[in-house]
Structure 1
Amino acid sequence: MSSLQHVWARTGVLAVLLLPLAMLFAVVSGWRRLAYRRGWLHAVSVGVPVIVVGNITAGGSGKTPLVIWLVNWLRSQGYRPGVISRGYGGTACGCVEVQADSPPAQVGDEPVLIRLKTAAPVVVGRDRVAAAHTLLEYHPDVDVIVSDDGLQHYRLRRDIELAVIDATTGLGNGWLLPAGPLREPAARLASVDAVVQVVRDTAEPRTYRSITGWRADYSAGHAYRLCAPQEKLALRDLPPHDWLAATGIGRPQGFFAMLDRHGLHYRPQAFPDHHVFRPTDLPVGGAVLMTEKDAVKCREFAGPDWWAVGLEVTLENGFVRWLDARLKQ
Structure 2
Amino acid sequence: MLKLLSLIYAAGVARRNARFDSGRQPIVKIGKPVVSVGNISAGGTGKTPVVQSIVRILQEQGKRPAIVMRGYRRTTKGLLVIHDGSKLCAGVNEAGDEAFFHAETLGIPVVVCEDKVEAATYAVKKLPCDVIVVDDGFQHRALHRDCDIVLIDRATLNGQLIPRGRLREPLTAMHRADVVLCVGDVSINEVSTFAQESALVIHCPMRADTPRSIENDAEELQSSARVIAVAGIAHPQRFVSTLEDGGFDIVSERLFRDHHRYTSSDVSELVAEARDTNAVIITTDKDIVKLRPHLFVNGALQAPTFAVSIHAVLENTAFIALLARRTSR
Q: TM-score, normalised by structure 2?
A: 0.86
Q: Which residue does 1:298 correspond to in 2?
A: 291
- Cα offset for 1:324? 3.0
Asked whether 1:319 is paired with 2:305, we answer no
Asked whether 1:113 is paired with 2:104, we answer no
Task: Classify 1:67/1:306 alpha carbon distance in 2 versus 1 (closer, same or farther; 3 Å).
Answer: same
Counterpart secondary structure, 1:245: strand
- Cα offset for 1:239? 7.8
- Cα offset for 1:101? 6.9
Q: Aligned partner of 1:297: which letter?
A: K
Asked whether 1:152 is paired with 2:139, we answer yes
Once the two structures are overlaid, the 10-residue window that deviates more, 298-307 or 56-65, is: 298-307
- Cα offset for 1:38? 1.1
Q: Which residue does 1:169 correspond to in 2?
A: 155
Q: Which residue does 2:277 correspond to in 1?
A: none
Q: Please list every run of 5 or more consecutive structure 1 residues that lacks an aligned counterpart in the other structure.
A: 1-16
- Cα offset for 1:222? 3.0
CA distance in 2, matches of 1:49, 1:270: 38
Where do 1:1-329 residues align within 5 Å? Answer: 17-99=1-83, 100=88, 102-139=90-127, 141-166=128-153, 168-173=154-159, 175-199=160-184, 203=185, 205=187, 207-208=190-191, 209-211=193-195, 213-226=201-214, 228=215, 230-233=217-220, 235=221, 237=222, 240-241=225-226, 243-266=227-250, 267-282=252-267, 283-285=270-272, 286=274, 287-302=280-295, 303-317=302-316, 318-328=318-328
Task: Classify 1:321/1:250 alpha carbon distance in 2 versus 1 (closer, same or farther; 3 Å).
Answer: same
Deviation per CA, 1:165-206: give whole Å up to 9, x if none: 22x424223x2111122111111112210101223xxx4536
- Give me the CA root mean square deviation: 1.9
CA distance in 1, matches of 2:310, 2:216: 14
Aligned length: 303
Say if 1:55 and 1:61, in contact at 8 Å, map to a contact too: yes
Once the two structures are overlaid, the 10-residue window that deviates more, 257-266 or 313-322, is: 313-322
Say if 1:87 and 1:111, in contact at 8 Å, map to a contact too: yes
Task: Classify 1:124/1:171 alpha carbon distance in 2 versus 1 (closer, same or farther; 3 Å).
Answer: same
The ranges of structure 1 where at least 4 consecutive aligned residues each deviate by more than 4 angstroms after the TM superposition are none
Q: Percent identity?
A: 32
Say if 2:223 and 2:246, in contact at 8 Å, map to a contact too: no
Q: TM-score, normalised by structure 1?
A: 0.86
Counterpart secondary structure, 1:297: helix
CA distance in 2, matches of 1:279, 1:238: 29
Say if 1:249 and 1:272, in contact at 8 Å, map to a contact too: yes
Deviation per CA, 1:78-137: give whole Å up to 9, x if none: 001001010001122211111447322211100111112211100000000111122123
CA distance in 2, matches of 1:58, 1:253: 17
Say if 2:32 and 2:124, in contact at 8 Å, map to a contact too: no
CA distance in 2, matches of 1:135, 1:91: 21
Say if 1:57 and 1:171, in contact at 8 Å, map to a contact too: no
Q: Which residue does 1:6 correspond to in 2?
A: none
